[in-house]
Structure 1
Amino acid sequence: MTIVRLGYVAMSVHLQNCSPSQTMTFARFQKIQNREAAIKKLERIAISNLENCLRLLKHNKAHDIRFFRFSSRLIPLANHEQLEDWNYIEPLQPILGEIAEFLKHYPMRIDFHPDHFVLLNSPDSHILKMSIKTLHMHEMLLKGMDISPEHRCVLHVGGGYNNKEQALEQFIHNWGYIPIRLQRMIMLENDDTTFTLQNTLYLCEKLAIPLVFDLHHHLANYENEDWKPEWERIVSTWQHSPLPIKMHISSPRNEKDFRAHRDFVDAQMFITFLNEIKGTVSQIDCMIEAKQKDEALFRLVEDLRHYSEIEWIDRASFYVR
């Protein structure tokens, strides 16, 4: 028997005017003649994004959802080179404190998936430096919400740079330049174009990083289609984490556009996976990566009610027997 918790990504299709990713371009920033006023505008946008995050968390509570990914675009221009003197966290402390207070009373697994420009295997030292700055921003947000930063940021391995083996070794080389406190934040995910499950396991085992298994990505990009022989290795990467094993679930849009995510999740594909792994772990948290966000979670819950091997705990968690 295994406990399964469902979560979704960043925003709701049901809540109106609740985007956590409102932004401002640097071009717009420059058009505001008073720099202090421009910075205040950025701060108002960031506060609004975090207020919307709190609305989303309350929405989750109403539906028994205890697993959620925050947007990584909460603070516009946070790491822009022309704004290095901006202490963007200080004005956010009150709303971060409100989120922390909410999570104290309704514990929820919160994490991030920093954007694709965070490349820890880049041979370009400037890109690596900016990637580290972005991870530091995520760390400060987590600490502001009183969330332990350990294993809260899932990343892809990075670019292939026309030599995948060398790119894997570059990741190992660059790892030594990443502060240990930021290393502890990181989880790695197998991707759908370059780094397979086996490639990602190589790094995770070598560097003691938890692996977030993405089944859809694996079916789009594999060395051996059968993932089951590697399952024990995947689970073992989590042995030193305080958090349960995590995976991503999504379904291909169609055979022609296989890598793209469908609006909803194929329940039969998901239950087939769960029947393969049930009993091997006590709990698995499953992040739904579907275009319809929380509606995809609600639809999957309804679809799963037809399966006799599922026993519901609440409206977003269940046992699979």
Structure 2
Amino acid sequence: MRIGYPAINQALSCRCSGTFRLASFSDERMTATIEANLACLGRVLAWNVEHRLTFFRITSNLIPFASHPVARDYDWRARFAAELGALGEYVRAHDLRISLHLGQFVVLNSPTETTYAASVAELTYHAELLEALGLDRTHKFQIHLGGLHGDPEGAFDVFARRYAQLPQIVRDRLVIENDERTASVADCLRLHEKTGIPVLFDTLHHTVKNAGETQLKALDAARGTWSAADGTPMVDYSTQDDAKRVGAHTQTLDVEDFRSFVRRLRGRDVDVMLEIKNKEASAMQARVVLDELGLP
């Protein structure tokens, strides 16, 4: 079981998501920002290895404006081929796993053509980033179904049709995640039947929106959608912050809940992304729990 956390290491002074105002775009500013972001990512990965955290969700802003028309003539893949290649080599050498989570504005089944086109551009950027890192298709990026737009069955059909039209490098790496409003695990399984897309199981979202199935039954159903080529099934783990809206992630790891979750897995092989607000601090607590349970 790999354990990881998303996007930001709060123990370090750098961030991998540096950006700037679109109005001030220039090749020089783009180059300096990407250099800083990639250098920080290298520091984060090394810190993770030192602390035995082998799963990390990269920020989508690693290459700012990569899918925006303003950067169409800026070839970040060629300019940073060496740096990206070295980072990917480090990931492979230490058996790390990388993932990404696209933002809420990526809606593959959107009825608005401009949103759909922008979504495809963003999906393609994510695939090209993982390709530039030299990582295989076990390194994934995830999205949600998006809105139902008043026609649930039609929304599923549009998603399936547009998914089939995506470039192969996108389809190889894209997974669908259950959410707390629109798509339960059962809904995602229907999408899998239409498309073959793997389903990433989110524990917190399942507690909010489900079809009455237990957590383990839903998790097993999601695990069954992953092929050997897709790698170990991925799980997003969190618990509810009782002081906030339903579906809000907790600030710190509920150690006893996590220990119970791992015990109930009973040897099921999954990689767990901790969607906890204090990020690497909770990941290190989770690492202690795994050590206590005798899990490498």
TM-score surpassing 0.5? yes
- Secondary structure of 1:153's counterpart equals strand
Q: Deviations over 1:167-221 (max 9, x none)?
A: 1222112123212231111111101111111111111233111111001011112
Partner of 1:136: 124
Out of 272, 278, 283, the residue aligned to residue 292 of structure 1 is 278
> Would you say how many aligned residue pairs link Structure 1 and Structure 2?
296
Partner of 1:64: 52
State the identity %: 28
Partner of 1:125: 113
Residue type of the alignment partner of 1:301: R
Following superposition of structure 1 onto structure 2, how do residues 9-28 of structure 1 map, counting pairs within 5 Å?
A: 9-16=6-13, 18-28=14-24
Residue type of the alignment partner of 1:252: Q
Larger Cα Rg: Structure 1 or Structure 2?
1
1:47: how far off?
1.7
1:254: how far off?
0.4
Q: Deviations over 1:89-141 (max 9, x none)?
A: 22222211221232243221111112222211212233222222112212222
TM-score (norm 2): 0.92
1:151: how far off?
5.2
Q: Structure 1 residues 150 and 180 mapped into 2: Cα distance closer, same or farther (>3 Å)?
A: farther
Partner of 1:35: none
Partner of 1:32: none
- Secondary structure of 2:294's counterpart equals strand
Matched, 1:216 2:204: yes
CA distance in 1, matches of 2:223, 2:92: 28
Check the 8 A contact 2:34/2:62 in 1, yes or no. Answer: yes
CA distance in 2, matches of 1:118, 1:243: 24
Partner of 1:165: 153
Aligned residues: CA RMSD = 2.0
1:12: how far off?
0.8
Partner of 1:145: 133
Residue type of the alignment partner of 2:279: K
Q: Structure 1 residues 171 and 151 mapped into 2: Cα distance closer, same or farther (>3 Å)?
A: farther
TM-score (norm 1): 0.85
Gaps of 5+ in 1: 30-37, 314-321
1:86: how far off?
2.2
1:304: how far off?
6.0
Q: Deviations over 1:288-319 (max 9, x none)?
A: 111111011113334566x6xx1142xxxxxx
Partner of 1:311: 294
1:5: how far off?
2.1
Partner of 1:192: 180
Matched, 1:74 2:62: yes
Out of 260, 272, 275, the residue aligned to residue 272 of structure 1 is 260
Does 1 or 2 have the higher relative contact order (CA < 8 Å, sep 6+)? 1
Q: Deviations over 1:4-47 (max 9, x none)?
A: 2211111111111x101111121233xxxxxxxx2221121012
Check the 8 A contact 1:188/1:210 in 2, yes or no. Answer: yes
Residue type of the alignment partner of 1:299: Q
Q: Structure 1 residues 19 and 231 mapped into 2: Cα distance closer, same or farther (>3 Å)?
A: closer
Q: Structure 1 residues 256 and 137 mapped into 2: Cα distance closer, same or farther (>3 Å)?
A: closer
Check the 8 A contact 1:24/1:77 in 2, yes or no. Answer: no
Gaps of 5+ in 2: none
Residue type of the alignment partner of 2:283: L
CA distance in 2, matches of 1:121, 1:66: 33
- Secondary structure of 1:94's counterpart equals helix
Matched, 1:114 2:107: no
